[in-house]
Structure 1
């Protein structure tokens, strides 16, 4: 009977501590696509962009393009001379580093008419999990102190593997 409980505990712990990296795809401008006279900052507000996510710029080929630029070029609506723009009409940009990213259309006065976007890219969501969700359910502490005080948690452990043993023992009773 102890083995199934331990197995259930391991499965539960794995589910609680696992992180899934699910990259999102954002169609810039949603159904409006990449065009003039659209508020791309309003579109981006409330969205969280992470490393690994994709921006998809949809537009009519030949009428628009997409350039990734720096902040100065973004503010001035200028395209660097040596820069190559994207021109397929279905351009996919993978966000591969965290930080601020700037995009604009380099055709005529389209940037000045609102066809530009800046976003802040956050680190990937696939990071080490914290114990905060579990600590609200179980009285667990990981402590470097060699001797637990009488008022401390019965699940006090110096190392994570000790905590696993204590959790297994707890569920075996």
Structure 2
């Protein structure tokens, strides 16, 4: 193996270690089902570990759903406004920028009341 190849391999390995230490994982909310009614998002979130630098990706039919980032009270009571952020593109990403508890709900009809909401704990 040439010295160039060895150096390249070392650089790539070091780069991957830095990315993994900073986070950078993308979590597709709801997995294959996406952001829709009736999956248990509490169960889904328990199978994930969220870190600063990771991304939440909400995939859904924009004609049927939306994503609203809210505080804990709004999450518990399904209050849509005021909110921290609202999106309806059908393909919305949230970069997890700080270690904190975060809450998301669907803003359409009674979807939140029917369980279309997500609470996560973001670790450093």
Spell out the pairing of 1:34-73 with structure 2 (5 A cutoff).
Answer: 34-73=35-74
Q: Distance in 2 between matches of 1:86 and 1:101?
A: 16
User: Is 1:99–2:88 an aligned residue pair?
Assistant: no
Structure 1 or 2, whichever has the larger Rg, is: 1
Displacement after TM superposition at 1:61 (Å): 1.3
Matches within 5 A, 1:10-159: 19-22=17-20, 23-81=24-82, 84-123=85-124
Distance 1:67 1:60, change over 3 A: same
More strand by share: 2
Q: Secondary structure at the match of 1:21?
A: helix
CA distance in 2, matches of 1:120, 1:98: 8
Shift in CA distance, 84/119, structure 1 to aligned 2, threshold 3 Å: closer
Alpha carbons of structure 1 residues 78 and 91: separation in structure 2 relative to 1, 3 Å: same
TM superposition score normalised by structure 2: 0.80
> What is the alpha-carbon distance in structure 2 between the residues aligned to residue 64 and residue 27 of structure 1?
16
* In 2: Cα distance, 1:94 partner to 1:101 partner: 12
Residue 85 of structure 1: CA displacement? 1.2
Instruction: Give the drift of 1:20.
Output: 1.9
Compared with structure 1, are the counterparts of its residues 82 and 115 closer, same or farther at alpha carbon in structure 2 (3 Å cutoff)? closer
Coordinate RMSD, CA, aligned: 1.8
Query: Would you say the 8 A contact 2:71–2:84 is kept in 1?
Result: no
Point out where structure 2 has 5 or more consecutive residues left out of the alignment.
1-9
Q: How many residues align?
A: 108
Describe the SS at the equivalent of 1:85. strand
Whether the 8 Å contact between 2:70 and 2:85 is mirrored in structure 1 is no
Residue segments in structure 1 that go unaligned for 5+ positions in a row: 1-10, 124-173
